[in-house]
Chain A
């Protein structure tokens, strides 16, 4: 369920006070794996079309699914880490961290190309502890 809230200054996505925000919550239907709901919030009805929004959410969910998947490479990463007394964690990024970078890059690109021109800004969920995706409506100040 998406919720709307007035913002306060000091968030990573905004430099001006009182943007209206829409929150996309996590979808826990498949367990604790990171996945976000792709239901279209009514507040964005006039700003962006449903298909664009859903494709963004689906792409993000794909990235997170890839991050959460256990595979041969994560097993090897774990073994190598164990053998090197986990010092390898200082030198390289884990599989999940690489996926988070991909997510960050994708969100930055989507913001630049699709959402900012429509007066919206997506905040990377990593800034919210991977609990919500925050979409700020930039040309719609909230009430003080």
Chain B
């Protein structure tokens, strides 16, 4: 049974990719190559740009994390799982919104979040699960899905009109050749898909302007009422398309700050000085203390690090005279550096 599900999940997406790539290829290979490339070279160029955007947005809509909220770990606040209410209320801009307890993920779903049974995750600002990309559409990848629909609509219109022009300019007795037939097939495919694709594009344009998700529209959540998540038509459009890209929460280790002992103290580039009597005031450079910079703990760690280095940590040869150059980062990440003593020896 599970094997069956996995296979059937991929069929619509495979079909969509195959259709898109094959029709685009046929268009470039037949009408473009035969006709446009000699007379109007800007046509293949412009069509290539559109194809580029379609494929880029389709790829991201398919493969990007839609805004998965990781399941709550066992030690989180859920002792009352069996007695806790199914719903919890939150007031948002004056409207009371219900948050439902998610049995799978073990937390109260944030507003606009919904659990996708196909992906088996709660998705932030859940729009819908799209079988044609085999992925959920949520907060992180909605804009790519939307741009994909728009660019695909433009791509389809463009292919249709260019194929039509090509067919019309062909002499009547040459219409049975391969190229015009392929052009007519392309026009037929575009005509068949026009209503669903343009319809979906128009639908999402309305949703974006109203600041709603497909899920909210279809379930009638704000029917006849006020949508507390709307910021006004203009701001809704701007925020959906130009707002900050929400980060993925699946690997939180990525966002951990770099360790403080690197940022609040000196960073020695080379560790050792020469033998006894070093012969060089550079030896003292190694013990150079930072001037200014933040905090006690930073300085203490730096001193410890200096001492550890003085003792000749592993990889450096104690007998070599080496350069010593001490940098200090003031720890605010803005890269203000002061160079310590920088004497060199052989």
Q: Which of B110, B124, B144, B257 contacts A108 (CB 8 A)?
A: B257
Q: Knowing A124-B252, A126-B255 touch, does A97 contact B107 (C-beta < 8 A)?
A: no
**Set of chain A residues within 8 Å of B60, measured between Cβ atoms:** 86
Question: In the complex, are the beta carbons of A29 and B92 less than 8 A apart?
Answer: yes
Shortest CB distance B39–A (Å):
29
Within 8 A of B (CB), among A1-28: 3, 5-8, 10-11, 21, 23, 26, 28
- CB of B260 within 8 A of CB of A30, answer no
CA distance A70 to B238 in the complex (A): 8
Looking at B52, B91, B241, B242, the one whose CB has the most chain A CB atoms below 10 A away is B242
At the interface, yes or no: A100 with Cβ under 8 Å from chain B?
Answer: yes
Pairwise interchain contact B110-A77, C-beta atoms closer than 8 A: no
Contact of B255 among A32, A69, A101 (CB under 8 A): A101
Interchain CA distance A113-B295 in the complex, whole Å = 10
User: Nearest Cβ in chain B — how far from A71, in angstroms?
Assistant: 8
Contact: B249 with A126, CB < 8 Å? yes
Residues of chain B lying within 8 A (CB to CB) of residue A81? 245
Are A3 and B249 also in contact (CB < 8 A) when A31-B228, A104-B256 are? no
Please classify how large the interface on chain B is, using the bins under 10, 10 to 19, 20 to 34, 35 or more. Answer: 35 or more
Among the listed A26, A32, A101, which residue makes an inter-chain contact with B112, where contact means beta carbons less than 8 Å apart? A32
Chain A residues with a Cβ closer than 8 Å to the other chain, count: 51
Can you name the residue of chain A whose Cβ is closest to the Cβ of B112? A32
> What distance in Å separates the Cβ of A121 from its nearest Cβ neighbour in chain B?
14
Question: If A8-B75, A112-B260 touch, does A78 touch B241 (CB 8 Å cutoff)?
Answer: yes
CA distance A32 to B107 in the complex (A): 16
Q: Within residues 44 to 97 of chain B, which ones have a CB less than 8 A from any CB in chain A?
A: 52-53, 56, 59-60, 69-70, 72-79, 90-93, 97
Q: Which residues of A contact B92 (CB under 8 A)?
A: 28-31
Whether, in the assembled complex, B12 has its beta carbon less than 8 Å from a beta carbon of chain A, the answer is no
Cβ contacts under 8 Å, A109 to chain B:
260
A97 to B59, CA, bound (A): 22
Tell me whether B239 and A70 are in contact (CB under 8 A).
Answer: yes
Give the CA-CA distance A113 to B76 in the complex, in Å. 26
- Per-residue CB proximity of B126-153 to A under 8 Å, as 1/0? 0000000000000000011001000000
Interface status of B244 (Cβ within 8 A of chain A) = yes
Q: Is B125 touching A32 in the complex (CB atoms < 8 A)?
A: yes
Q: Do A74 and B242 have beta carbons less than 8 Å apart? A: yes
Q: Which residue of B lies closest to A136 (CB)?
A: B75
Chain B residues positioned under 8 Å from A21 (CB to CB)? 75, 77
Q: Which residues of A contact B73 (CB under 8 A)?
A: 8, 10-11, 128
Q: For the complex, what is the distance from the CA of A108 to the CA of B260, rounded to whole Å?
A: 8
A94, B77: Cβ atoms closer than 8 Å: no
B222 at the interface (CB under 8 A from A): no
- Hey, which bits of chain B sit against chain A, CB under 8 A? 52-53, 56, 59-60, 69-70, 72-79, 90-93, 97, 107, 110-112, 124-125, 143-144, 147, 228-229, 238-239, 241-247, 249, 252, 254-258, 260, 295, 297, 333
Q: A32-B112, A82-B53, A105-B258 are in contact. List 16 more A-B contacts (CB 8 A).
A: A26-B110, A28-B110, A28-B111, A29-B93, A31-B229, A74-B244, A78-B241, A86-B144, A104-B257, A105-B260, A105-B333, A109-B260, A124-B252, A126-B252, A127-B252, A128-B73
- Between A and B, 5 residue pairs with Cβ closer than 8 Å are A5-B75, A23-B77, A29-B91, A101-B256, A131-B72
